[in-house]
Amino acid sequence: MNRPLVAILSGAGISTDSGIPDYRGPNGLWRRDPGAEKLVTYEYYMDDPEIRRRSWQMRRENRTLRAEPNAAHRAVAELERTGVPVRVITQNVDGLHQLAGMPARKVLELHGSARSVVCTRCHARGPMEDALARVEAGEDDPPCTACGGILKSATVMFGERLDPVVLGQAVAIAKACEVFIAVGTSLQVQPAAGLAGLAADHGARLIIVNAEPTPYDERADEIVREPIGTALPRLMRRLSAG
């Protein structure tokens, strides 16, 4: 029996139970500190050493690397282990889907990963932990060890394009899946949000699990407003039962 392909688009709301604040919610980072946006805007970051120094301090204090997967992440990984074909497309940069047990090859990170750094000149990559250790040791703006170029988090900053290969794979999954679940995402940031409409256009059952209304609610076959930590595990069990 062929089991339907399930695509899961996850946003910040899936990780709030892990202690990672969202960005656009009522208590989101951008609402509390509009100046923080400059720290993750490519043009400001590249042009201003002071912005870079502040960005490295923000990364030091960031709870993302210390966070653990929660019940929602584990439920997605558990569904995949039952043999249901699952692909995760995530707007998050926290790596928690993989830590929960989802095979890395089945997770598309649209906005990159906060667990790595990349050189803006030679594109060498390395672990974020190594770069943060250098900051702890006194380097306030650690350069690339390979070429001396500017290092940045391997995340997509404001003003940067998404990786076209990753986006292309996400589009293919949205077109091919039979169930598309948008969980913890406002569905306001394009092109990620458009994947929900694309999936619906190609006949997928669209399920939205989010506390707030989204622009795609009227296209949804099912809307769940309950807390993600309980709603998603229940939904995953239902899908695994067929």
Cite the active site residues. 111
Structure tokens given for 115? 């667990």
Cα–Cα distance between 121 and 225 in angstroms, integer? 44
Structure tokens at 8: 């899961």
DSSP 138-150: T-SSPBPTTT--B
CB 157 within 8 A of CB 59: no
What's the half-sphere exposure (Cβ side, CA atoms, 13 Å) at 59?
33
Lay out the sheet containing 125-127: strands in order across. 125-127, 112-119, 151-155
Helices 71-81 & 228-240 angle (0-180, nearest 10)? 10
Rounded Cα gap, residues 181 and 6, in angstroms: 8
Cα separation values, 30 from 34, 52, 166, 216, Å: 5, 18, 26, 23
Q: What is the DSSP string of 4-47?
A: PPEEEEE-GGGTGGGT---SSSTT-HHHH-TTHHHHTBHHHHHH
